[in-house]
A and B are shown apart, each in its own frame.
Chain A
Amino acid sequence: MPRHQGARLALSQRQAAIILLLPFLAVYAVFLVYPFFKGVWISLHDWNLMAVAFNPDAKSYVGLRNYERVMWGQNITWAAWASPGFQIIGVLGMLASAFLYRTGRAGKVTALAMGIAALLLFVLPGFHPGEGGRWFDRRFWPTVGNTILFVGLAVPGVTITAMLLAAALDGETRAKAVLRTLFFLSQVLSVTVVTLIWQIMFSPRQGLIANLTELFGGSPIVWLTAEGFAMAAIVIATIWWSLGIAMILFLAGIQDISKDLYEAGALDNATGAKAFWYITLPNLKRTITLVVVLQIILHFQVFGQSHLMTGGGPNDTTQVLVRYIYQTAFRDSELGRASAMAVFLFVIMGGFSILQFVLGREKDE
């Protein structure tokens, strides 16, 4: 270790801290904090991308009008069963969270978060245009609905598959390690490679899936352009893509479960599926919540799958929030409205991030 007698304790701790922190704080302030507030500021303006680019004074302050134009409409009323699908799930979710909390199957934070999410799912879809009313933007809420549907399909799909795989692949043997690698591999690919592969997998003329159905005498499905199938197609591609991280998190969770529990269980004849149900599952509660929250954050921001595989179609059935923001900003040049939607996205994501943070801290419930 070099000694610098001359420079002995030359810098105080405070000075050293400032020098070391400065590069990051500068980048952080300029490229994250400032843009964040600028985004909020843009959302309060009528701001056309092209017009403002040529003349910086072409924007005008409109207050919250962008939010109104995106999220509200004329004569909006609320009813309990305006959109039964979502609202029934909301009611069931509230009952489930109360039940899970009462029976001690879920901690306070988990139950509360689930309850709030379910309540929102009950309240928000209840708003609808009344007599002669209309939404100012009739695409926004359906887009949010599609995003929630995508999350609602992809998250359970990934979570359940990953948990079962992790339970089966936990262990130190070579074969299991190889299998884990195979299942994880697709996770490192980029979204454009994933969509390239699956676009052609699903192609009715050249696709592997079509080739298989033809082999068995069926007629190929036009997956990506058929309503009802397009969403399924991007969900399948997404599950294939993002299984790996969830599987690894479950493996870590399973390894934390004491081996004694399994030995004790084996004495009571609880092995295999029984051991999974009575020992593994109850002890994975925290991991399951963590994986679900993580996946919600990740998949709520879906963009590439929808943008590249289906183009939001057919008939807007796979249009998702980030793609709508992207299009509003860069195709329609409506930066103000797009920013209002981005703030909306931030509020939802921020809520889940706080939840994720709290769950990470909550050592045991």
Chain B
Amino acid sequence: MNRSYYWLILGLSIPAFVWLVPTIWMVSLSFQPNELLARTTSSTALGLIPIPFTPENYIALFRFGQVPMWFLNSLIVSVGMTLAVLAVSTTAGYALARLDFPFKTPVIIICLMGLMVPEQAVFIPLYTMFADWGWHNSHHALILPRVAVPIGVFLMMQFFKAIPKDIEEAARIDGVGWLQIFWYVMLPLARPAMMTLAILTFLYAWNDYLWPLVSAQQREYFTITLGLASIQSNFAQAEGLGRVMASGVIASLPVVVLFLIFQRYVVRAMTAGGTKG
């Protein structure tokens, strides 16, 4: 490592710090007393260091607000959506990649065309359908529309295509049925791809805003992402800036922790979602 390398790292640390400042600021403000924040947000080091320090905002959040309920809704919706997407994507992905059946190519093309349809192009008809069925303000209403998006099917299809055929053929000679091959041979092999898809789906579910905004009108069914949007417009008056910032931190915690633990998968998932969805 030469000197120019250290200059590069030093030179990049400054923009990296600037990049991080908004996040640090949110965390720092969430630990400062509301009464102080009403006067000034720059008490220590422009507010980037939480002095005076108080955990009061977080305690209040869990005592009075709806944040814990929204958090729970987000968990239910995100986990439910992840499991559902994994179930339909692995099965369909395997069938499209490895099994022969009539009209296979048209089926693949029809599924592929679904990738062209953005959420914003179907959210109005979905709203009317769910309204007719009385499905709004429920967890399954928040989950189902995303399960239909074929991105997961294609990720799994590409993965299964890359597995060597002889594994399957050996099992066939032993007389193992197709469903057993799928369950006992293919799924264990697909764990890394499933992990990527699971993270992609979880992040999407956790962060989705437009569909929950349309579908969940009762505050009891808000996700944390939607709930946060509903309290941020009047942060100064009702809740206090510190408490809103604490809600923001709580809302980000699962995805940030997920990112820090499974960084490689998260990066792979987001690029896969970005390049193909």
Contact = CB atoms under 8 A, between A and B. Distances in A.
Interface of A: 1-5, 7-11, 13-14, 16-21, 23-25, 27-28, 30-36, 38-39, 42, 49, 52-53, 165, 168-169, 173, 175-176, 179, 181-193, 195-201, 206-208, 211-212, 215, 240, 244-245, 248-249, 252, 272, 290, 294, 297-298, 301, 303-304, 308, 322, 325-326, 329-330, 335, 338-339, 342-343, 345-346, 349-350, 353-354, 356-357, 360
A356 to B, nearest CB: 8
Interface string B244-274: 1100100110011011100100110011001
A353 B114 contact: no
A154 B239 CA distance: 33
A58 B111 CA distance: 34
Contacts of A35: 122, 125-126, 129
Interface string B234-248: 011000010011001
B117 interface: yes
A-B pairs with lowest CB-CB distance, top 10: A16-B178, A190-B207, A24-B92, A31-B148, A38-B125, A17-B101, A346-B121, A24-B88, A32-B148, A20-B95
User: At the interface, is chain B mostly helix, strand, loop or mixed?
Assistant: helix
13 contacts: A1-B171, A2-B180, A13-B99, A16-B179, A17-B95, A20-B179, A179-B9, A192-B232, A193-B225, A196-B26, A206-B37, A208-B25, A335-B124
Contacts of B124: 39, 42, 325, 329, 335, 338-339, 342
B86 to A, nearest CB: 11
A272 B148 CA distance: 47
Contact of A36 (B121, B203, B252): B121
B33 interface: no
B145 interface: yes
B22 interface: yes
Q: Tell me the interface secondary structure of chain A in the complex.
A: helix
B46 A208 contact: yes
Contacts of B267: 184, 248
A350 B115 CA distance: 9
A38 B182 CA distance: 35
A197 B23 contact: yes
Contact of A24 (B153, B203, B252): B153
Contact of B121 (A201, A244, A342): A342
B189 interface: no
B9 A4 contact: no
Contact of B125 (A18, A21, A36): A36
B232 A196 contact: yes
A182 B117 contact: no
Interface residues of B, number: 106
A3 B126 contact: no
Contacts of A322: 120, 210
Interface in B217-240: 225-226, 228-229, 232-233, 235-236
Contacts of B184: 1-2
Nearest to B119: A301
Contacts of A7: 177
B256 to A, nearest CB: 6
Given A196-B232, A212-B46, A181 B22 contact: no
A31 B22 contact: no
B73 to A, nearest CB: 14
B25 A201 contact: yes
Contacts of B232: 192, 195-196, 199, 308
A34 B129 CA distance: 10
Contacts of A30: 148
Contacts of B175: 3-5, 8-9
A12 to B, nearest CB: 8
A11 B118 CA distance: 37
A35 B122 CA distance: 6
Interface in B90-116: 91-92, 94-96, 99-102, 107, 110-111, 114-116
B174 to A, nearest CB: 7
B99 A16 contact: yes
A176 to B, nearest CB: 7
A350 B108 CA distance: 17
